[in-house]
Structure formats: structure tokens, C-alpha cells
Amino acid sequence: MSEIPVPVRPKSRLRIALESDVFFSFRRSPVAVASAVVVLILVLSAVFAPLIATSNPFDPASLNLMNGFTPPMQPNAFTGETFLLGTDDQGRDVYSTILYGMRISLFVGAAAVAFAMVLGITLGLISGYVGGWTETIIMRTADVQLTFPSILVAMLIFGIAKGVTPVEYRDQMAIWVLILAIGLSDWVQFARVVRGATLVEKNKEYVQAARLIGRTPGAIMLRHILPNVLSPVLVIATISLALAIIAEATLSFLGVGAPPTQPSLGTLIRIGQGFLFSGEWWILFFPAVTLLALALSVNLLGDWLRDALNPRLR
């Protein structure tokens, strides 16, 4: 009987992450930690909105119009009800509406970035790896689109989509159209970065080796090149997330985004700005502060990530 060798326990993934350079730099950056905490709180409260909100503002039947324009922490003159952050013009509790509205903002932002990322990476990989006419067509299209401000492109796409969807489905479709519009206006950056990195990677030896053993171009792009070009993509994705949240708020503010019966943060700000002169500041103020906190902290996280992943700054 031979002795059973004691297996060396491999380090767990968490352990690897905690010992990594990136995490070290994260712990060293108070801005990054603070931003991450803010983002975490906001995301968690959006996810668990049905549990922590006091009412469901998306259910019009539950609203009492007489509660309209109640100031924060003061009882309503007619109904006597009190609301933490006051109510808007329809009697919706601003606190609950922010939670539910943030769900829309975050979901649209994340989904739009995911969509832009998939589209941009695919087109970037193909144009970088294949080259020739394919590259020319894809990248010139990207250049043309880059000459238009992305909010304009998003509005154009939104307008066309609104024109072709039947009116009955418009409200349900609005969110998906927003995602499509913001995603399509945002893929160019991903494509350009990925193409650039692919051009560098594709001549390296490991790619040539993979080609020699007969791997297909698709497999080479996905399994060999992609993992090596991902880190700049992560940075762009984080910053894009902040931009996408703002783009959604902008579109909704302009009245072309989320429907008024299902307000996102931008819709709330649009409603609130009508009451700035008359003194009902809370309808605009709280959603605006939430949007500011969300966009700013995601942006700061993106900034930190860019520095952390940049070998020259290490």
C-alpha cells in the first residue's frame, strides 16, 4: 500500500481575485471603493424595489390623485398621508417611483451596453481579422455613424421604430426600442477598439500556431484573440454604461423614451421640471440627485478601471 499523496489545494477563484493586482489597486483607491458602494446600494435597491418600495407606482389604479404635490415628510392637506420624498403631480410616491424608475434606467443601460458590446466586438473582430473589403465597409460605416452625435442617432432609431410598431404595443415596446436605439448608437467605440487590438494580436505567434494546427477562423477569433483584447473592452463598457444611463434619461426627458405611466428617472425629471417655478422642487430634485449619483459613480469606477488595467500606470 502506498501512501495517498496529499493533494495541493488549488487556489480558489475568489482567492485569485482577492490577491490580484486589480483588487489591490481597488483597495488603495478610496474613490473607487466609495463609487462601488454607491453603485452597489443603488443596484440592490433597484433590484429589490418591490420589497422596499412603499407602493407600486406603475399600477395606475393604486394611485390617489388627491395625494398629488405632497411635500416631503409633510402630511397631505386632503388625505393626511405622509411621504418620505413627497409625491408628484399624479400622487405617485416619489421614493417608490425613483426605485422603480431606476430599474428601468439600469436595465436599459445595461442591456443597451451588452447589445452594443456584442455587436461591436463581433464586427471589430471580423474586420480586424478578415480585413479587405469587409473591413472597409464595416469601419467606414462606423466612421460615418461617428460623425453624428449618438443621441441624434438614438432619436432617429427611436422615431423609426415608433413609426413601424403598432400603437397597441408601443408602451410595451418602448423599453426594447430604447435598448436597441442606445445600443445601435454606441457599438462603434467597441468595434474600433477591438479591431485595433485584433490587428496587433492576429500576427502574434500563438495565432499563427492556431492557424497551423487547422483551427477555423471563427474559433481563432473567439477562443484565441477575443480573451486577449477584452481588457480595454471592459473599460469602455463601464464608461458606456454611465453614458447609456444618461442617454436613456435624455431620451425620456425629451419625451421619446419611457412612457409617462412607467416613468424612468429621465421621465420623472421631465415631469418635475414643469413645477420648478411653482415651488414643488422635490419632484425634480430627488430623481435628479439619484441620476447624478448613479452616473457619476459608474463613471468614476470606469476611470479607476482604466487606470488599473493600464500597464504603464502600474
Task: Tell the smallest beta-carbon distance from residue 76 to other proteins (Å).
Answer: 10
Residue 296 near residue 238 (C-beta atoms within 8 A): no
Q: Name the residue with cell 422635490.
A: 282
In total, the chain counts a number of residues equal to 314
Task: Decide if residue 66 touches other proteins (CB under 8 A).
Answer: yes
Which residue type occupies 307? Answer: D
Candidates 231, 104, 234, 274; CA nearest to 179 is 104
Give the SS3 label for residue 212.
Answer: helix
Site string for other proteins, 109-148 (x = CB under 8 A): ----------------------------------------
Among 2, 7, 147, 168, binds other proteins (CB under 8 A): 168
| CB 247 to other proteins: min, Å | 20
- Regarding 61 and contact with other proteins (CB under 8 A), the answer is yes
Phi, psi for 299 (deg, rounded to 5):
-65, -45
Is residue 220 within 8 Å of residue 129, measured between CB atoms? yes
Phi-psi region of 86 (alpha: psi -120 to 50; beta: other; left: phi over 0): left
On whether the CB atoms of residues 266 and 105 are closer than 8 A, the answer is: yes
Is 71 one of the binding residues for other proteins (CB under 8 A)? no
Q: Which stretch binds other proteins (CB under 8 A): 19-27, 88-96, 112-120, 232-240?
A: 88-96
Interface residue with other proteins, options 27, 28, 170, 223 (CB under 8 A): 170
Contact pattern for other proteins over residues 4 through 43, marking x by CB under 8 A: ----------------------------------------
Task: Tell me: does residue 171 bind other proteins (CB under 8 A).
Answer: yes
- Among residues 110, 118, 117, the alpha carbon closest in space to that of 178 is found at 110
Closer CB to other proteins, 23 or 78, in the complex: 78
- Closer to other proteins at the Cβ: 37 or 254? 254
C-alpha cell at 11: 487556489
User: Residue 141 phi/psi, 5° resolution?
Assistant: -60, -45
78 touches other proteins (CB under 8 A): yes
Instruction: Candidates 36-44, 85-93, 179-187, 237-245: pick the segment binding other proteins (CB under 8 A).
Output: 85-93
How far apart CA 191 and CA 146 sit, in angstroms, is 12
Start-to-end CA distance of the chain, whole Å, equals: 52
Task: Please give the Cα distance from 242 to 295 (Å, whole number).
Answer: 5
Binding to other proteins (CB under 8 A) within 244-283 occurs at 259-261, 273-280
Binding mask 93-112 for other proteins (x = CB under 8 A): --------------------
Interacting residue with other proteins among 1, 4, 6, 59 (CB under 8 A):
59
# binding residues, other proteins (CB under 8 A) = 28
Separation between Cα atoms, residue 37 and residue 71, nearest integer Å: 29
Q: Which residues of this chain interact with other proteins, rule CB under 8 A?
A: 59-63, 65-66, 68-69, 78, 89-91, 167-168, 170-171, 259-261, 273-280
